[in-house]
Amino acid sequence: MIGAISEWSVHPWILGNVGRWMSFYNYTLKSFGIDTMIMLGNCPVSYEHSIPEIVYENYLDLTTALEAHPNTNIVALCADGTHSPVDLGSYTHPAEDVLYIVGSDYGEVNHTVLDNFNNVDHVNIEGTLTQPLWGHVALAIAFWDRKRKG
């Protein structure tokens, strides 16, 4: 299993376009052969816009999602560099059984929760960013890097 976890930001403009918003994630995952999408929070999951090749899961919070996948490697994608001793360019991706985590589209991953798990790699997406990336963009960068490194 190779998957992604995202905490969805529930804004009025997303609620009116859930299918379109999901398509950003759907086609990013499908393009790189990623098979699992885990959505956190009280998000409006729109399964009519799902893709058959992707398994969708929804959990209220990150702790519950990670506890449901106890033997899985966790890669926390960060853009601020403060929690990330490893840059993506030099990172060796796990071969399988891995979940890549991005925070909400306006924030970082929840490092407080991740500190309670011992199978977590904090990986920095290099750049001169002053704000975090959109979640699906951060995932696309990481999945491209994973594919290029084989």
Q: Would you state the pLDDT for residue 44?
A: 58
pLDDT in tens, 53-101: 889 898 989 999 999 999 999 999 887 666 767 889 999 999 999 999 9
- Do β-strands 55-59 and 86-87 pair in parallel, antiparallel, or remain unpaired? unpaired
pLDDT in tens, 2-39: 999 987 666 565 556 666 677 888 889 999 999 999 98
Q: Would you state the pLDDT for residue 146?
A: 97
Q: How many residues does the chain have?
A: 150
The CATH code for residues 2-149 is: 3.40.1280.10
